[in-house]
Structure 1
Amino acid sequence: MFDIAVIGGGASGMMAAIWAAESGAKVALIEKNQKLGKKLLITGKGRCNLTQENFTKDTLLDDLGRSGKFLFSALAKFGVEDTKEFFKAEGVNLKTERGGRVFPYSDSAEDILTALRKRLATNKVIVIRNNKIVSIQVKDNLIQSLSTKKGEILAKQFILCTGGKSYSGTGSTGDGYSWAEQFGHSVIEPEPALTPIRANDKWIEFVVGLTLKNVKLSVVQNNKVQDERFGDMLFTHIGVSGPIVLDMSKKVGELMKKKAKVHLSIDLKPTLTFDALDKRIQRDFQKYQNKQFKNSLEDLFPQRLIPVMIRLSKINMEKKVNKVTKEERQNLVKLTKNLIVSVTELVGFGQAIVTSGGIDLKEVDSQTTNSRKIKNLYLAGEVLDLDGPTGGYNLQICWSTGFLAGVSAAAAFKKEQGKEQED
């Protein structure tokens, strides 16, 4: 018999187990994989962007939209500075990079996982690996026990941290959603978020691997801009990826679900107006006036993008720059400010960084993460209908909700234990 059983050994589950045990409870952490934190090891391309300096209570609504309100308590009780102090206390040196992204100084996610495992051991958490839950027994709105392939597990309080469906190869298969529905919870349909986007433009195959820095990306439907982002993006063998594409993917998915025809528009020079860019190109053409058009663009575009821009501009590449007409030049300006990428679909859960959707937040107490359906159940991490942009936001959601679930479940256990002793 355990005081608290935590289901799922990812970021939120490990944090919940640590803080429940730190509060004095006897805790079991149940993980169906052979190893804890499988997904954690691949976050940030293995570097682990563990939090975001600019993620505060004041920015919640901007960062997460309406669902941000739910995180007020969790972030107030365990915020960015608490996360940094937690890992520093375990000997992990941290660094902050552009955009407020925080990484281990070693650039190794393994250091973050080692710190968590160390703290689990210090707090004597019983970790049961390679153990799949077969069913969960509920009676009178209370979880009674867990039936697992290694036998029955009994506890007084339970914390569900099974994650979403993103990076499904790591074991995130959405188990928690079906259990939550059995308990009477509503589940907002899970969708892949922070995912690459497939495109079918032939020219992309010539720029695979090219990163564009400091561009503006817009998602356009019926000639109206529905969303836009500034930053970096990457061309891949299937389409586009990179920070601003990943952040845009949720909106693209929402529009495509409505059967809307959408495309992406890249502004390669977002700091210049049409007229300012036209004047800039005129200066370049003056500088290279005796060269062919194909040799006049090296100051304007990355080398690998030049052949693509020449082809799409439909200007004869052999033409001398001083023979390029005003109309041709202004078409080049239009192309530079509006490079179209045709969207076919989102890549899906296999490569999605997080899941959008999950257990309806209206059915969870934001002060404690306690289920409003099951008295002795707490919920944390990606299983909830919470997701943020790239840059460390989503892991901070896991740390904050994991902490709150752990201390709240421990407090509930102690309260129940006190009542039993009085009786």
Structure 2
Amino acid sequence: MIYDAIIVGGGPAGLMAANQFEKENINYLLLEKNEKCGKKLLLTGGKRCNVTNQLPIKDFIDTLTFKHKRFLYPALKKFGRDDVISFFKIRNLDFVLENNFKYFPKTEKSLSVLEALTQDLNQAHIRYHQSVKEIHKQNNHYQLITKDNTYFAKHVIIATGSNSFPSTGSSGDGLVFAKYLGINYFDFTPAETHVYSNQIKQNFKSLQGISLSKAIVKVKQLKTTYQGDLLFTHFGLSGPVIMHLAEFIDQDIRENKSSILEIPFIDLNQDKLFEVLQSQNHKLLHKVLETYTTKRIVEVLLTHLNIESKKIIEIKKKDLHLISEAFTAFEVTIDKVEDKEKSYVNKGGIDTKALDPQSMEVKNNKGLYFIGEVTDLHGPIGGYNITIALSTGYLASTDIISKLS
């Protein structure tokens, strides 16, 4: 039998496509390598699954860091935030808005999201334990080969994800297919994850557990900055601001062998803090600094600088400059970014220049589509990536439906 369409991968992108085919009675199959769909989806958002966020399309796209982000306009215009919420609401899943930004299911369970994505699917259309090994183009259809079966379809949607958390089945298979079919792609690299610092591990154990709110962190050599919460850990740094900067830190390490971050413990620039210290030179140094940050941070940094706390007027000017620099732009050397297999999100995937933004179809392989995380489209943590998966899944499947009709 030649199916109208075959979806490879049962994550959010593939399941969204399956829902559209189901609704229109399309003769399709979904091939899933695991014993069930959505294994990686169940882990997202601390198993709570942040499905989307409050941003309108323009702001959503502006937040993304890659140069070709405008590629996403057609997908988000056709199926954006409001459509995502409506899709689940129709399936009796309501959302709550957290911190006036992130939408989580009211149940606070990612399982509820997976159940909503699968409840309308006919299980006869899903084949489990089907890991696709090869895809071949044959005249006006495609041949898909698994360990024990061969399938044929007029249209194929690849929704295999990146290679983060491969134990969930997300092992980068889509790039293997792309290589065989001559489709350009970029290797996956870590994007949203934590980072390692021998400097913190060896010399600043006393900083471990300290968190900074809304810190403006700078990747010094790339001059890239971002603001967000930061956490000092036993291995290095974590928190939303580090997650967001991880792909740039990884790039910096590849180019320079290590990456230097500038971290502010005090929300003033260096010159302003120096000014403040001089204007209060009759006071004890630690007392002035503790009006801007915690006692623990003051103790750690002054010990590191080997500067004793006394009346500021008794401290040398050059030491005041050192203090001002350390407290406003503390330099931390990063030696390693967490492996891509353990990264929450990976950068890379199918080159969007090879895809039609109006459909997600491969320009030179008609009938073949790539959607979701297997493409070179990614966003920070905060509902961006699941929204991208759902919108591209919707776009590709509705394009196939229109061609079949």
Give the structure 2 partner of residue 266 of structure 1.
263
In 1: Cα distance, 2:124 partner to 2:273 partner: 61
Query: What amino acid maps onto 1:301 in structure 2?
Result: T
The equivalent of 1:257 in structure 2 is 254
Structure 1 residues 362 and 45: CA distance shift in structure 2, 3 A: same
| Matching of residues 305-344 of structure 1 within 5 Å | 305-316=297-308, 319-321=309-311, 325=315, 327=317, 328-344=319-335
- Aligned residue identity for 1:215: A
Contact kept? 1:74, 1:401, Cα under 8 Å: yes
Could you say what secondary structure the match of 2:116 adopts? helix
Kindly provide the amino acid, as one letter, of the partner of residue 305 in structure 1: I
Q: Which residue of 2 aligns with 1:75?
A: 76
Contact 1:74–1:367 (Cα < 8 Å) also in 2: yes
TM superposition shift of 1:261: 4.8
**1:31 to 1:286, Cα distance in 2 relative to 1, 3 A:** farther
Residue matched to 1:4: 5
1:135 equivalent in structure 2: 134
> Who is 1:100 aligned against?
101
Please tell me the residue identity of whatever aligns with 2:232.
F
The residue type paired with residue 110 of structure 2 is A
Distance 1:395 1:330, change over 3 A: same
Superposition deviation, residue 285 in structure 1: 8.1
CA displacement 1:123-150 (0-9 Å, x = unmatched): x66222222123223223x543322234
Structure 1 equivalent of residue 404 of structure 2:
413
Q: Does 1:237 align with 2:234?
A: yes
Which amino acid letter does the alignment assign opposite residue 184 of structure 1?
G
Three-state SS of the structure 1 residue aligned to 2:126 is strand
Alignment of 1:277 onto 2:273: yes
Distance of aligned partners of 1:345 and 1:108 in 2 relative to their CA distance in 1, 3 Å threshold = same
Is the 1:168–1:349 Cα contact (8 Å) retained in structure 2? no
- For the 8 Å contact 1:194–1:250, the answer to whether it is kept is yes
Q: Secondary structure at the match of 2:356?
A: coil
Shift of 1:296: 6.9
Q: CA deviation at 1:268?
A: 2.3
Q: Provide the residue aligned with 2:347 in structure 1.
A: 356
Q: Does 1:14 align with 2:20?
A: no
- TM-superposed deviation, 1:152: 2.3
How far residue 212 of structure 1 moved from its aligned partner, in angstroms, is 1.4
Match for residue 159 of structure 1 among 153, 157, 160: 157
Counterpart Cα distance in 2 of 1:245 and 1:363: 31
Residue from 157, 167, 170 that aligns with 2:168: 170
Task: Give the gaps of 5 or more residues in structure 1.
Answer: 415-423
**Deviation of the 1:207 alpha carbon:** 2.9
The separation in 1 between residues aligned to 2:278 and 2:99, in whole angstroms, is 33
Q: Distance in 1 between matches of 2:26 and 2:65?
A: 33
* 2:278/2:312 contact within 8 Å kept: no
**Which amino acid is the alignment partner of residue 403 of structure 1?**
Y
SS in structure 1 of the partner of residue 342 of structure 2: coil
Matched, 1:215 2:215: yes
Give the distance between the partners of 2:99 and 2:321, measured in 1 at CA: 34
Partner amino acid, structure 1, of 2:205:
E
Secondary structure of the corresponding residue to residue 359 of structure 2: coil
- Aligned partners of 1:99 and 1:265: how far apart in 2? 29
CA shift in 2, pair 1:330/1:226, >3 Å = closer
Task: Tell me the alpha carbon deviations over residues 70-128 of structure 1, each in whole angstroms, 9 at most, x when there is no partner.
Answer: 1111010000111111122222221223372222233322221121121335xx66222
Which amino acid counterpart does residue 127 of structure 1 have in structure 2? I
TM-score (norm 1): 0.86
Within 5 Å, give how 1:34-49 maps onto structure 2.
34-49=35-50
> For the residues of structure 1 that align with 2:56 and 2:385, how far apart are their CA atoms?
10
SS in 1 for 2:248: helix
User: CA 1:55/1:66 → structure 2, altered by over 3 Å: closer, same or farther?
Assistant: farther
Matched position secondary structure for 2:256 = coil
Q: Give the Cα separation in 2 of the matches to 1:296 and 1:273.
A: 16
TM-score by length of 2: 0.90
Change (3 A) 1:298 1:64: closer
For residues 314-371 of structure 1, what are the alpha-carbon distances to aligned partners after superposition, in whole Å with 9 as ceiling and x for unaligned? 223xx44567525344432221111111011211212212221111111111111111
Gaps of 5+ in 2: none
Tell me the distance in 1 between the aligned counterparts of 2:22 and 2:232.
46
- For residues 242 and 325 of structure 1, do their structure 2 counterparts lie closer, same or farther at Cα, with a shift above 3 Å needed? same
Distance in 2, Cα, partners of 1:409 & 1:203: 58
CA distance in 1, matches of 2:90, 2:334: 46
Q: Which amino acid aligns with 2:391?
A: S
Letter in 2 for 1:266: I
Question: Equivalent residue of 1:66, what SS?
Answer: coil
Inter-partner Cα distance in structure 2 for 1:309 and 1:105: 43
- The offset of 1:403, in angstroms, is 0.7
State the shift of 1:295 in Å.
Answer: 7.2
Aligned to 1:421: none
**Residue by residue, what CA displacement relative to the aligned partner does 1:239-289 show, whole Å, maximum 9, x if unpaired?**
11211111111122223222365300101233x2335434656788867x5
What's the RMSD between the two structures over aligned residues?
2.5
Distance (Å, rounded) in 1 between the aligned partners of 2:214 and 2:39: 32
Q: What CA distance in whole angstroms lies between the structure 2 residues aligned with 1:205 and 1:350?
A: 27
Contact kept? 1:196, 1:242, Cα under 8 Å = yes
> Does the 8 Å contact 2:157/2:371 carry over to 1?
yes
- Check 1:58–1:337 CA distance in 2 against 1; reply closer, same or farther (3 A cut): closer
Q: Secondary structure at the match of 2:133?
A: strand
Contact 1:184–1:373 (Cα < 8 Å) also in 2: no
**Conserved 8 A contact 2:5-2:28:** yes
